[in-house]
A and B are shown apart, each in its own frame.
Chain A
Amino acid sequence: MSRWAYTRSSKSFALYLFWGLGGAIFISDNVAQINTVSGRSMEPSLSPLDNTTGRKDTVLWSKWEVQSKIQRGDVVLFSTPQKPDVIATKRVIATPGDTVILDPRRRPTRRVSGADVPESLGWDMYKRRAVVPEGHVWVEGDNWRESKDSNWYGPISKSLILGRASAVVWPYYRAGAQPWNDFKSKTKVIKGAVERVDELEFCESLGPV
């Protein structure tokens, strides 16, 4: 009884708060994060019922050394390049050095009228071949009808990526599943790699200074 009375004191409460909150912040910054996917852009694989019943998937994102683990086909969580405070979920289609053969269905247009938007011009300038630069990835949503992705804003930097999807945690009947593995993107990719030039070798190749 006396022990319980001691642990309920305000000092202990502050300690519990510190451990709980601090631990949660540390884990969500470095190890793993839980986030709900909303919207129709990942429709066949994540939150497929969001548009009809409003049922959304909550996903566990692993953050441990994400940038070095990213491969083609992974689903990633990232900050959108044009809005710093918005995060989005897309699938990695191509990694540095790859050439993406752009899907004409994914050309950026206005949804209803099909009219051109400012991004359509940039898409046309790729001439249906986009080479992914060093340190970047090409991301696309699984639902080609409703997805604002790299076709709109180009390849995104790997530094923007916050996490890699590891499993669905909610709703309970999908918990532990990885539904994105069942979907195969139809966008064609010519695989390649970036030659990383060693800086010291490059400086030495310039000759005596």
Chain B
Amino acid sequence: MLPRVFAYSSNHAAPPNQSSRTPPPNNTNAKRQKLLRYLTKPYAAPPLLARFPTLHLAVRGLLFLLAAILSLHIFMEYFYTFISAWGISMLPTIASSGDWLLISKYYRRGRELGVGDVVSYKLPLRPGEAGVKRILGMPGDFVLAESPSKSGSMIRVPEGHCWIVGDNLVWSRDSRIFGPLPLALVTGKVLYKFSWTAWWNRIEHGLKDAEEVDYDVD
């Protein structure tokens, strides 16, 4: 028995003398002739809804699905995304697994970004993959080319690029490997992280004011 919404109820009474025990007649030839007639003379065919009474439900369902896909795409591409992060490159800030990130797409293409922001970006060396790192330098800034090193060689971030480094310096593939990242590859800024143990936590930029230590004072 079909559920009530799917059951076809017509105004017409059921044709008499039709027992459910007798199998339907095998009128394949008649059906074929009918189909041929409908195809050659479309105006002779009964309306689609009369032939397939649940058609409007299927169309309704498909349209609703399409509308949901469109709205979700627009929301996730231009407003906010909520995705799970994986990997140990941002370890003190973002766990290696199980953390979910709320990413604002307003900051895509480097709009209104600053040093210290955690951003999501498309990997330049592997198209189709994405990552999350922290910005250490904006265009014109001088940054250390290799952070844990004794050489201390610095480079200047070129126009339209940024320098991104993971918080876990010893295990992170970032600008120290592929160089400055074009701001066009930045897809958004991480605002909050969510995990089942700590719930919602805002991701701050890790910058502090420089402490003035006066060593002369005893």
Contacts and interface: CB of A to CB of B under 8 A. Distances in A.
B184 interface: yes
A26 B73 CA distance: 7
A189 B159 CA distance: 29
B77 A29 contact: yes
Contacts of B123: 135, 159
Contacts of B128: 67-68, 159
A18 B159 CA distance: 38
B122 interface: yes
Interface of B: 67, 69-71, 73-74, 77, 109-110, 122-128, 158-161, 182-186
B162 to A, nearest CB: 10
Contacts of B127: 67-68, 135, 157-159, 161
B185 A23 contact: no
A22 B71 contact: yes
B109 A23 contact: no
B125 A81 contact: no
B135 to A, nearest CB: 14
Contacts of A85: 109, 184
A133 B183 contact: no
Nearest to A23: B70
18 contacts: A18-B67, A26-B73, A29-B73, A67-B128, A81-B184, A82-B159, A83-B159, A84-B110, A84-B160, A85-B109, A134-B125, A134-B126, A135-B124, A135-B127, A157-B182, A159-B122, A159-B128, A161-B127
Contact of B182 (A25, A30, A160): A160
Contact of B70 (A26, A67, A83, A157): A26
A26 to B, nearest CB: 5
Contact of B183 (A18, A30, A84, A158): A84
A80 B161 CA distance: 11
B75 to A, nearest CB: 11
A91 interface: no
A25 B73 CA distance: 9
Contact of A157 (B71, B73, B125, B183): B125
Contacts of B185: 157, 159-160
Nearest to A196: B126
Interface in A53-112: 67-68, 79-85
A6 to B, nearest CB: 16
Nearest to A82: B160
B183 A159 contact: no
Given A25-B74, A81-B161, A136 B124 contact: yes
Contacts of B182: 79, 81-82, 84, 156-157, 160
User: Which range holds the interface residue count of chain A?
Assistant: 20 to 34
B67 to A, nearest CB: 7
A23 to B, nearest CB: 7
A135 B74 contact: no
Contacts of B73: 25-26, 29-30
Contacts of A82: 158-161, 182
Contacts of A26: 69-70, 73-74
Contacts of A67: 127-128
A82 B161 CA distance: 7
A94 to B, nearest CB: 16
A19 B63 CA distance: 10
Contacts of A135: 123-127
Contacts of B161: 81-82
Interface in A1-37: 18-19, 22-23, 25-26, 29-30
Interface string A140-151: 000000000000
A158 B160 CA distance: 17
Contacts of A23: 70
Contacts of B124: 135-136, 157, 159-160
Contacts of A68: 127-128
Interface in A104-133: 133
